[in-house]
Amino acid sequence: MTVHDELKATIDSLVDGRRGILAADESSGTIAKRFSAVGVESTETNRRDYRAALLSSEGLGDFICGVILFEETLGQSDRGGTPLPEVAAAQGILPGIKVDKGKGPLPGAEGDMITYGLDGLIERLREYKAQGARFAKWREVYPVSAHNPTELGLTANAEMLARYAAVCQSEGVVPIVEPEVLMDGNHSLERSATVNEQVWSSVFHALNRHGVILELMLLKPSMVTPGAELPSAEPQEVAEYTLRSLRRSVPAAVPSINFLSGGQGPEEATENLNALNQLNNAPWQLSFSYGRALQQPALATWHGKLENIEMAQRALVKRACMNHLAMLGKYRDSLEGEG
């Protein structure tokens, strides 16, 4: 099988019109905060047991096609000795891997950030692939202020995403390109739309410069929402602004847009995805790659207790199912049916 064939086979599995991607790649610091909120210590054993429980949730593969794992998880096995990537694969869920190494300030562009991790990426990708990873994810973040992102911030972050994506494709690993425009702040819906368009346009110019094959990658962007200090916009507004901005800046060759939740609550993220798909005029699959918006109900149910695992798994599968329905534009219909 050629590298191109490998990439195409992975894309075909990740873009099927009905399933999304579970983001379970929280860094050690992030998962420690989330565990602390439910009274659980962030030990290696607890992280393994929690993620093993997520991946073995009965029926999860009906609604989830891929899972982004943290490096630690990729090398772990469940209590029965089965490697966690195999636990996922047994449900028809492709294992993926977060490959960036976190962010820091971008010198010369006050207020902007840059992500690290290109050094040694080829060697790491080969190791991850040997462990079962079929796709990868790299995140760049864009704070919004009166002067951010700067022109340097846009260019530098786009270059990092493009270099990462090109390396992934050279190794037969599908890249998920994640330019996250942060919700932090008091920026308006209009300002958010402008920034997202600037970000996406700069990213695709860079991807083209580096010869990235657009048909063999996924985009994981923010939705266009107002800053978190302002009231939330209605789902119809979010959908209209998001789709308009995407049409202005993202080529139709990209097979799927898998939105991040970016601070939205579980129901809010699903409502907004549903509204996007109800517009029913996008050239891309509009899907999800949620972390907290999928996991939060499960984590709150689990509380680190063995006797709660099945209930937590059901909570995860329910949220995955709701987002599956949102991909079809039928989430509201399901709620009305429950009523």
Pairing assessment for the beta strands 64-69 and 285-290 based on DSSP bridges? unpaired
178 noted as active-site residue:
yes
Which of 99, 83, 93 has the alpha carbon at shortest distance from 27?
99
Contact 315, 298 (CB under 8 A): yes
CA 188-149-164 angle, 5° bins: 120
Alpha-carbon torsion (243, 244, 250, 254), positive or negative = positive
Contact 152, 194 (CB under 8 A): no
Active-site option among 6, 159, 178, 197: 178
* Token representation of residue 328: 């079809």
- Cα–Cα distances (Å) from 50 to 63, 83, 265, in that order, read 19, 14, 21
- Cα–Cα distances (Å) from 218 to 14, 64, 313, in that order, read 9, 15, 27
The CA distance from 241 to 251, in Å, is 17
Active-site option among 98, 159, 171, 220: 220
The CA distance from 263 to 285, in Å, is 22
CA atoms lying within 13 Å on the CB side of residue 9: 10
Classified as helix, coil or strand, 11 is: helix
Contact 336, 318 (CB under 8 A): no
The CA distance from 339 to 337, in Å, is 5
* Token representation of residue 251: 């080529």
Q: Three-class SS string for 40-55?
A: CCCCHHHHHHHHHHHH
**Residues with active-site annotation:** 178, 220
